[in-house]
Structure 1
């Protein structure tokens, strides 16, 4: 199946590990020229030795720094950019009564301001038919308990919808993907009871993989999704489908 991605240039943030590296690898396999960016000064181990018809170019970049985005845009000047995956994100697990404004601001800097700065910097380079994919979370579809992380992902939904409306006339699509519990370095740091409770609330009864998220991102970047714009796609095994009813149903069995 021809996805129409061969030879296209795509920027992936947070590409050093987990979902970001899986997305970068898959795009290279499908012939993309991938600018993979992350905080690491050296090429992360997960991005070394890639094989495929595409090409991977690694750059160190802090998504919260406008100057870093401007530098990347200058490096890309003269070539069309066809995709941006705003994957970089951080979590903060304090609850409502404990979270500080400093913690809230830091999460927003990375999870909301980072995607905004990327969109602002790269939009002048986007070709008609380009695609932006913002990586949200089931936290942005629910009342998840880590308040800074949850509110940042709700804000990212708002940014996605505004960008969809503003950039659509230029032929640029903007969608969001909302992973559930995915086996990544970020989730591995969570309390084991959090993992167990989340899987109990997931109808498929298991955690997801970074590859399963990357597959959906690939679709949204490809020509197969050419009329998909402003969509919010959960990749969560059904976790958000039941609105909390699963634990009630399970208790009555």
Structure 2
């Protein structure tokens, strides 16, 4: 009797990949969902975190591999694009990578949170297969900037020389981290809308998803206070902020992941070019109060 071990390999393991940008809590949660249908290509800037994430996914039986990439480095992004072009294609792209105020530099935050998303779209877009979809994680904060065509036009060309200087001029001063995040995430929403138009005729979709208050590792790392959004510079505790939400609680990573799973599946094959708030009704409250106009 042969004692040769047989490795279990899913029939789809060599098909087009689900590309996950960012191995944090949300990225890993999304990977565990998309990995039920697609082989996974995990991308992160941190080799140790990337290896640990891929090892954990492999141990659970997923088909997964990793690729080290700094999404702020054009050369590394170009290499990622080449790797994807040589592979079986991309069926689903979930761009999760982002930072908060802990990065300590508003221009660096913009480089990661907006420019990085644009570069990833440029690298991965050509490898999307027929029926493929790209989803960019945004934020409910993307609804806070004013409804202004000049701002929208500025955010529609984020890789233009002097973009940060132009944004500082528009804002009237150097934006703080909260406003940098707001602008960057609005730019992500507009990126998805642009891509939906640019990919016309390819049968490929682009979307953004704006989580509201979510209990996630990144949220916990950013501290226990949030802007009050009452026109002052005051901040309030997360617990008090959550009381604004009609469901009267924060959401969970699973509640985001479930929506991502739907949007990147064939069940959502006619959903394209829009942002999906997943916020427990928080935007509706802000809209009624005049805090947001979008």
How high is the TM-score relative to the length of structure 2? 0.72
Unmatched 5+ stretches in structure 1: 95-101, 247-253
Retained in 1: the 8 A contact 2:205–2:271? yes
Deviation at 1:60, TM superposition (A): 1.8
Retained in 1: the 8 A contact 2:93–2:133? yes
Residue aligning to 2:194: 162
- Which of 201, 205, 208 is the matching residue for 1:176? 208
Query: Counterparts of 1:124-135 in structure 2 under 5 Å?
Result: 124-135=126-137
Give yes or no for the alignment of 1:237 onto 2:284.
no
> Alignment partner of 1:169: what SS?
coil
Retained in 2: the 8 A contact 1:204–1:237? yes
Give yes or no for the alignment of 1:216 onto 2:259.
yes
Deviation at 1:219, TM superposition (A): 1.0
Looking at structure 2, the residues matched to 160 and 232 of structure 1 have their Cα atoms a distance apart, in angstroms, of 8
Deviation at 1:143, TM superposition (A): 4.8
Query: Counterparts of 1:51-70 in structure 2 under 5 Å?
Result: 54-70=62-78
Runs of 4+ in 1 over 6 A off after TM superposition: none
Looking at structure 1, the residues matched to 45 and 109 of structure 2 have their Cα atoms a distance apart, in angstroms, of 16
Residue aligning to 2:45: 39
Query: Counterparts of 1:89-168 in structure 2 under 5 Å?
Result: 89-92=98-101, 103-143=105-145, 146-168=178-200
Give yes or no for the alignment of 1:79 onto 2:88.
yes
Looking at structure 2, the residues matched to 194 and 13 of structure 1 have their Cα atoms a distance apart, in angstroms, of 30
Q: Relative to structure 1, is the Cα distance of residues 74 and 195 closer, same or farther in structure 2, using a 3 angstrom cutoff?
A: same
Q: Relative to structure 1, is the Cα distance of residues 93 and 57 closer, same or farther in structure 2, using a 3 angstrom cutoff?
A: closer
> Alignment partner of 1:240: what SS?
helix
Q: Relative to structure 1, is the Cα distance of residues 171 and 142 closer, same or farther in structure 2, using a 3 angstrom cutoff?
A: same
Q: Relative to structure 1, is the Cα distance of residues 13 and 78 closer, same or farther in structure 2, using a 3 angstrom cutoff?
A: closer
Looking at structure 2, the residues matched to 198 and 44 of structure 1 have their Cα atoms a distance apart, in angstroms, of 36
Looking at structure 2, the residues matched to 88 and 151 of structure 1 have their Cα atoms a distance apart, in angstroms, of 16
Retained in 2: the 8 A contact 1:136–1:178? yes
Number of aligned positions between the proteins: 234
Deviation at 1:123, TM superposition (A): 1.8
Deviation at 1:82, TM superposition (A): 1.2
Give yes or no for the alignment of 1:18 onto 2:22.
no
Q: Is the radius of gyration larger for structure 1 or structure 2?
A: 2
How high is the TM-score relative to the length of structure 1? 0.83
Looking at structure 2, the residues matched to 195 and 112 of structure 1 have their Cα atoms a distance apart, in angstroms, of 25
Looking at structure 2, the residues matched to 12 and 210 of structure 1 have their Cα atoms a distance apart, in angstroms, of 15
